[in-house]
Structure 1
Amino acid sequence: MIEGNRREFEDKDNMNRIRKITDQCDDKVAAKGSSSSQGPNEIFYHEIAHLTKLRSRPHELLSKDMPGRSRLPVSTMKMLVGRECNYSGRGRFSSADSCHVLSRYLPVNGPCTVDQLDSGIYVSRFSDDGTLFVAGCQGSHIRIYNVDNGWKVKKDILAKSLRWTITDACLSPNQRYLVYASLSPVVHIVNVESAATESLANVSEIHDGLSFSSNNDDYDDLRIFSVKFSTDGRELVAASSDNSIYIYDLEANSCSLRVPAHKSDVNTVCFGDEAGHLLYSGSDDSLCKVWDRRCFISKGKAAGVLMGHLEGITFIDSRGDGRYFISNGKDQTTKLWDIRKMSSNAKDTPKRRYSDWDYRWDEYPPHAKTLKHPRDQSVITYRGHSILCTLIRCYFSPEYSTGQKYIYTGSSDCSVYIYDLVSGALVATLDHHEGLVRDCSWHPLYPMLVSSSWDCAIARWEFP
């Protein structure tokens, strides 16, 4: 009975704090609303700040702010003292308290070399729980490292039927399987939990092939640029060179759906929410599109279109809330999007300004960096890094340790860039590599970031 009353009191306390924060946010938005210069982006800007703050706001009793000083950063030492004195009545930090502390300690020190491979690295990702790390390189090799065991190699995979490079690799949610894609219509799947450390395709182990092509005439032309597991691990979603999105049913072992999605190569696709209903796609036609799988049969078209990039889109990462996502574009920008601002069509999309420019070997025209889309629907634009030569990737920072306060991206100038999500300010640049950084990954729990480069090196950055 006492425990139930205590929980009820805590719930009411949390709700009161949320209402107080909401009222403060609404007051600020209302105050700005009196200015004629306020646009729709200002409202979304404050909403993003509000949501990010809620995920990482310290407990008011632990922070013990003095009157008139509530806007100053809360001291970690003050929070620790408050916890030891049990000011909050919980005897511990909440997840928001922990997040508030951890988000200050960016992984910018180092780096320490994890490994040196024999060719340029295209893909590198931590598993969802951070215990494994996957690195895939152009020279047909994929290595899976056991992070908790001193970065010992758990699996050394020699890929099969490789065309040019491994374009993507993804671990299943239960971490038992790995899929890898290349510039071919077949995605291969490997059993990560098998006993063998070395996995040579169809020599020491079978790498089952999952074909995404049903038309033999176009078989050799189809290329897969991106592949992702669904949250339940039952499906794969893939982006392809035939302007389409594919969904593969792993239980039925067949491609269950093909969606003609764009007017050019689809470079990236991902799930937008935990339920797997929403999909976000990005293409060389410079458009981001939102797809609702519940409407595929009845509508057969995108739920909405988002315009803003002036060149093709290289990568999309979802915030996981079914509302916000970010995209990297060949116009040398990263953009934050809110799907509630999407349009029903993109008939007025301007044509490419530089039809003879190719990002794979040309520098982006300097004067073009200041150009803006006349109907830009993005919430915030981040500039500073460069997106040339390959499909460079960008991500939200982890929710657990940072409240997704930051976004980070690789860059063709051999660095990793970290931006503040709300203000757009550059907060850190990680300089070490001698080659382009195509991919990088922030540990989901700890202040640790791993960058991988075309200089064949995997580097680990941490807080000291």
Structure 2
Amino acid sequence: MHCKRKAPHGEPSQQEQASPADANGLFAIEEEICHLTRLKSEPSDRTRTPLHARKKCHISTFKLLSGRESNLSGFGRFSSADCSYALRDHLPVKGPWCVDDMDSEAYISQFSSDGSLLIGGFRGGHIRIYNADNKWKIHKDITCKKLRWTVSDIALSPDQRYLAYSSLSPTVHIVNVQSALKESHANITEIHEGLDFSDDDDEFSFGIFSVKFSKDGHHLVVGNNNESICIYDLGANKVTERFHAHMADVNVVTFADESSDVLYSGSDDSLCKVWDRRCRKRGKPVGTLTGHLDGITFIDSRGDGRYFISNCKDQTIKLWDIRKMSSTLKDCTPKAHEWDYRWMTYPSEARHLKHPYDQSLATFRGHSVLRTLIRCYFSPSHSTGQKYIYTGSSDQCVYIYDVATGNVVERLKWHGSIVRDCSWHPCLPTLVSSSWDGYLARWEATEDDDDPTKLKRWKQKMQPEGYTFVL
């Protein structure tokens, strides 16, 4: 199905704001991704039919639970789509509560794949791992080695035993996060093994912006400001693949699915590229996706090897289908305005420019991407059926978009500075945001005013000033 459905935005309410999409005010998206999203986030027919519920009729959580207890569907339990439907209306919008408060900017907040751990990365050479199942107590306090400016990225191995952290240098360090020591000071209390990604032909010492473990834990892949992608074989203890990937900084690289054969990359050259490690010419992309008008700051895969989203300095998130990628690159990325996102605001007249060869399925607008590489994600499959896209923003908020309509369904506002990263718990309605105000803040679906960690307005810290370099 490749027909397009155009739906005008509804009127904004207290919990839903219409976000501008195209220049004509309409949001367009392929029907197939809408259909797949509905399959993952709507009750199954075996659940609807016994409850006499029509397709467009809302089913309350009480009815769903009653029907399950009575086994009306004959299935004996909720399907994954039933679970997503029951939980998707319970969004983590209450709060926030404090997970941690540091004196330096919080750059990264990421849950482990099972949600038991939360990892926070800070500019002052600090990484903290929190036990999400035990009142957010610190599981590991890591003092990093040889940082340049900040922790640029972190990655947890699939077995949750090792953590890799990168900085603006060609070295990635590995820490054993399951060792007995709670304090891990680089090469003082514990060895932080350094993996060197540099090459003899490199003319300068490059910096790494993105690092990811393969799903089998055997390889690390990085993107860097040397315009290249490098793959490190942990067993062989060396870089086994290195190829020139883009014409500018490679800000992000990630795996498409569990197989770890297909990679997505995004760059300051405004392009998203797809790489297949099974191809003979591994240094050549199998396809390119055009549509952004500026540098790409982050990519998140839907996990199905087909769809992914990208955040960009052109102030948009785009949704992509790799089946629409092109094997030839059209040299046409219009840049009508010269600006620097590190210290300038985005030109208002450029906000609704459209790439003449835009291959994306949909464009999401409303948040802002300034001063740093702000990240975006699909919401969890288990609890929402990936019905939403969420992102940090330089206007100090977290935005949650509806995939099918493009609407901003929630805007979480408390922080006093840029929200660079945020992470939604894989199973629970809990979201953690990390901001340059130094806070890791926790948002929940239910209110708990008795929790002493709840953050008050007077605890806000304003945006730091005077930085000449940002990431």
Tell me, yes or no, whether TM beats 0.5.
Answer: yes
Q: Give me the whole-angstrom Cα distance separating, in 2, the residues matched to 1:213 and 1:79.
A: 56
2:258 — aligned with what? 274
The answer to whether the 8 A contact 2:299-2:309 is kept is yes
1:21 — aligned with what? none
For 1:309-320, list aligned pairs within 5 A. Answer: 309-320=292-303
Equivalent residue in structure 1 for 2:215, among 231, 238, 243? 231
2:307 — aligned with what? 324
1:9 — aligned with what? none
> CA, structure 1 residues 429+43, in 2 after alignment: closer, same or farther (shift >3 Å)?
closer
Q: Give me the whole-angstrom Cα distance separating, in 2, the residues matched to 1:211 and 1:333.
A: 34
Q: Give me the whole-angstrom Cα distance separating, in 2, the residues matched to 1:110 and 1:49.
A: 31
Aligned-residue identity in percent: 60
1:14 — aligned with what? none
1:93 — aligned with what? 78
The answer to whether the 8 A contact 1:182-1:223 is kept is yes
Q: Give me the whole-angstrom Cα distance separating, in 1, the residues matched to 2:407 and 2:50.
A: 26
Answering whether residue 177 of structure 2 is matched by residue 192 of structure 1, we say yes
Query: SS in structure 2 opposite 1:122?
Result: strand
Shift of 1:68: 8.5
Shift of 1:432: 0.5
Equivalent residue in structure 2 for 1:336, among 319, 336, 347? 319
For 1:242-257, list aligned pairs within 5 A. Answer: 242-257=226-241
Query: SS in structure 1 opposite 2:300?
Result: strand
The answer to whether the 8 A contact 2:50-2:73 is kept is no
1:392 — aligned with what? 374
Provide the alpha-carbon RMSD of the alignment: 2.0
The answer to whether the 8 A contact 2:4-2:29 is kept is no
Equivalent residue in structure 2 for 1:106, among 70, 88, 91? 91
Shift of 1:136: 0.5
Counterpart residue identity of residue 341, structure 1? K
1:143 — aligned with what? 128
Counterpart residue identity of residue 282, structure 1? G
1:83 — aligned with what? 68
Give the helix-richer structure, 1 or 2.
1
Q: Give me the whole-angstrom Cα distance separating, in 1, the residues matched to 2:156 and 2:368.
A: 28
Q: Give me the whole-angstrom Cα distance separating, in 1, the residues matched to 2:259 and 2:300.
A: 16
Shift of 1:74: 1.8
Q: Give me the whole-angstrom Cα distance separating, in 2, the residues matched to 1:224 and 1:143.
A: 20
Q: Which runs of 5+ in 2 are unaligned?
A: 7-25, 447-471
Query: SS in structure 2 opposite 1:148?
Result: coil
Q: Give me the whole-angstrom Cα distance separating, in 2, the residues matched to 1:123 and 1:372.
A: 31
For 1:307-456, list aligned pairs within 5 A. Answer: 307-355=290-338, 357-456=339-438
Counterpart residue identity of residue 430, structure 2? M
Q: Give me the whole-angstrom Cα distance separating, in 1, the residues matched to 2:143 and 2:53.
A: 61
> CA, structure 1 residues 42+366, in 2 after alignment: closer, same or farther (shift >3 Å)?
closer
Q: Give me the whole-angstrom Cα distance separating, in 2, the residues matched to 1:31 and 1:85.
A: 38
Equivalent residue in structure 2 for 1:300, among 283, 306, 309? 283
Q: Give me the whole-angstrom Cα distance separating, in 1, the residues matched to 2:233 and 2:363.
A: 36
1:265 — aligned with what? 249
Answering whether residue 444 of structure 2 is matched by residue 462 of structure 1, we say yes
Q: Give me the whole-angstrom Cα distance separating, in 2, the residues matched to 1:31 and 1:115.
A: 44
Query: SS in structure 2 opposite 1:228?
Result: strand
Shift of 1:104: 1.3
> CA, structure 1 residues 299+436, in 2 after alignment: closer, same or farther (shift >3 Å)?
closer
Shift of 1:81: 1.7
The answer to whether the 8 A contact 1:281-1:316 is kept is yes
> CA, structure 1 residues 392+84, in 2 after alignment: closer, same or farther (shift >3 Å)?
same
Shift of 1:90: 2.5
Q: Which has the larger radius of gyration?
A: 1
Q: Give me the whole-angstrom Cα distance separating, in 2, the residues matched to 1:262 and 1:456.
A: 33
Q: Give me the whole-angstrom Cα distance separating, in 2, the residues matched to 1:257 and 1:131.
A: 33
Describe the superposition over 1:134-185 as per-residue Cα deviations: whole angstroms up to 9, x where unpaired.
Answer: 0001000000001101101000000000001110011111100000000000
1:124 — aligned with what? 109
Query: SS in structure 2 opposite 1:370?
Result: coil
Aligned residues: 427
The answer to whether the 8 A contact 1:238-1:247 is kept is yes
Q: Which runs of 5+ in 1 are unaligned?
A: 1-25, 33-40
